[in-house]
Amino acid sequence: METAQLEALATSPAALAAAFVLGALWGSFANVCIYRWPPSPEHPHGQSVVAPGSRCGACGKPVRWYDNVPILAWLWLRGRCRDCGTQFSARYLLVEALTGLLFATVWWFAVDARAALEPLDLRVVRAAIGAAFAWTMVVVIFIDLDHMLILDRLTLPSVAGFYALGVVLPERTWTDGLIGAAVGLALVRVVADLFLLLRGKHGLGMGDGKLLAVVGALLGWKGPVVALFGGAAVAVVVVVPAMLVRGALGRGAGADGAADGEGGDGADGADADAPPPPVPWAERRLALWSLAVVAAAVAAVLLTPLPPWIAALALVALALADDFLGLTDGPEPADARAARGDEPAAAGVDEAHQADDDLAPGALPFGPFLAVTALFWWFAEPYVMFRLGL
Ligand SMILES: [Zn+2]
């Protein structure tokens, strides 16, 4: 085919439709990963996403290949198992449709909108990278909503993978992703340490830090900054009304109910769990160490002729050492937020949807806000930079 024909095909509605279908197929796989990767009582390390094939969670019968068609199968079976009639969560449909829409949108932004800027092959590479990023964020969001967990098995390979993909793009240098990953880790570390030091509570977990490392590895240092502060802003906009609504309904007094002056708690069973006691000072002090390390890295970049990537490399290495060796791992457990005080009980973590309880103020996962904002930034960055004249 001629270049002009390929160009016309790539920017046609048919290409968008194909991107949607491909996204829905990947969304179907995302559902498997979201369901099988997290640890459960029977599978402490999660399950394989390859084998065995999909089966009904209630009756154990394998799903037939023609009932595995994304979106359509859910619709023609009206979300029920063909064998036993058990109702499946509408979330399977949601994840497939969402991933399909994201892939189509990514294609439009990368291939259609940049048609005047770049040759087709580079735009297609951009679309593929954007789709991989969107898929990863979808999996992160829904696992975090379900389990308050951001899995190392997802984030650590993604840091390496998206760093390598980012380097392919002509506007990125080999240090961008490295510095971005370090900024993502350091930002969360500093916020978490300050929160622990000042409030005596665990706020962010390093699972969030590794998520921002993924974002930075692909998008450079601006990605984690936008995701953290943008995500916090979106969280405030979402959480404050949710707390007000709960307050108006006379529920959810547990998390911040100190001001209510209610004498006997436990009248309402849902709020029976009291907030965890503050972390003792001796333990809080450990946060000073990692704050000192980050401060030293920043000072080294600002005050010495040392190239920034060396400090970035040191921070990334330190974070990995934290993880694998537990060297400086004082305040926060190495593995995401698993051992956090306000963590929902491990029992029944393989339930596909228990987000209702997680919406209690104080038990809201932050990862989805970070991931949504980071994804938004993937789309918005070229336009924002253009507007700012950068
Ligand atoms: Zn069944």
- Residue 16 per-residue DSSP state: H
Contact assessment for residue 377 and residue 223, using Cβ atoms and an 8 Å cutoff:
yes
**127 part of a folded domain:** no
Q: What is the pLDDT of residue 107?
A: 98
Residue-number span of the structural domain to which 81 is assigned? 11-113
Ligand 1 center from residue 353 Cα (angstroms): 18
Residue 257: pLDDT above 50?
A: no
**124 part of a folded domain:** no
**118 part of a folded domain:** no
**141 part of a folded domain:** no
Ligand 1 center from residue 50 Cα (angstroms): 20
Ligand 1 center from residue 23 Cα (angstroms): 26
322 with 195, same domain: the answer is yes
364 with 217, same domain: the answer is yes
Ligand 1 center from residue 108 Cα (angstroms): 39
339 with 251, same domain: the answer is yes
191 with 296, same domain: the answer is yes
Q: CB-hemisphere CA count at 13 Å for 197?
A: 14
**181 part of a folded domain:** yes
208 with 290, same domain: the answer is yes
The per-residue pLDDT for range 4-48, each reduced to its tens digit, is 899 999 999 999 999 999 999 999 999 999 999 999 888 888 888
Ligand 1 center from residue 64 Cα (angstroms): 11
Ligand 1 center from residue 68 Cα (angstroms): 14
Ligand 1 center from residue 176 Cα (angstroms): 49
Ligand 1 center from residue 62 Cα (angstroms): 8
Ligand 1 center from residue 89 Cα (angstroms): 13
**178 part of a folded domain:** yes
DSSP structure string for 165-220: HHHHSTT--TTHHHHHHHHHHHHHHHHHHHHHHHHSS--S-HHHHHHHHHHHHHH-
What are φ and ψ of residue 216, in 5° steps?
A: -70, -35
75 burial (CB, 10 Å; 0-12 / 13-18 / 19+) is: exposed
Ligand 1 center from residue 77 Cα (angstroms): 12
45 with 159, same domain: the answer is no
Q: Which of 92, 113, 134 is where one domain is finished?
A: 113
237 with 324, same domain: the answer is yes
90 with 156, same domain: the answer is no
Ligand 1 center from residue 55 Cα (angstroms): 8
DSSP structure string for 87-140: BPPTHHHHHHHHHHHHHHHHHIIIIITTTTTS-HHHHHHHHHHHHHHHHHHHHH
Ligand 1 center from residue 345 Cα (angstroms): 27
> What is the rounded distance in angstroms from the CA atom of residue 285 to the CA atom of residue 287?
5
Ligand 1 center from residue 20 Cα (angstroms): 28
Ligand 1 center from residue 32 Cα (angstroms): 16
Q: What is the pLDDT of residue 330?
A: 41
Whether this prediction's pTM lies above 0.85 is answered by no
290 with 337, same domain: the answer is yes
Q: What is the pLDDT of residue 285?
A: 77
248 with 346, same domain: the answer is yes
Ligand 1 center from residue 74 Cα (angstroms): 14
The per-residue pLDDT for range 297-349, each reduced to its tens digit, is 888 888 888 888 888 888 887 777 766 655 444 434 434 344 433 334 343 33
Ligand 1 center from residue 117 Cα (angstroms): 51
277 with 364, same domain: the answer is yes
The per-residue pLDDT for range 39-92, each reduced to its tens digit, is 988 888 888 888 788 888 888 888 888 888 899 998 889 889 999 988 888 999
Ligand 1 center from residue 56 Cα (angstroms): 5
Q: What is the pLDDT of residue 302?
A: 84
Domain count for the chain: 2
Ligand 1 center from residue 85 Cα (angstroms): 6
| Mean of the per-residue pLDDT values of the chain | 82
**1 part of a folded domain:** no
Ligand 1 center from residue 73 Cα (angstroms): 14
314 with 181, same domain: the answer is yes
**6 part of a folded domain:** no
Ligand 1 center from residue 347 Cα (angstroms): 23
The per-residue pLDDT for range 183-203, each reduced to its tens digit, is 999 899 888 888 888 887 777
Ligand 1 center from residue 98 Cα (angstroms): 25
Ligand 1 center from residue 61 Cα (angstroms): 6
Ligand 1 center from residue 140 Cα (angstroms): 27
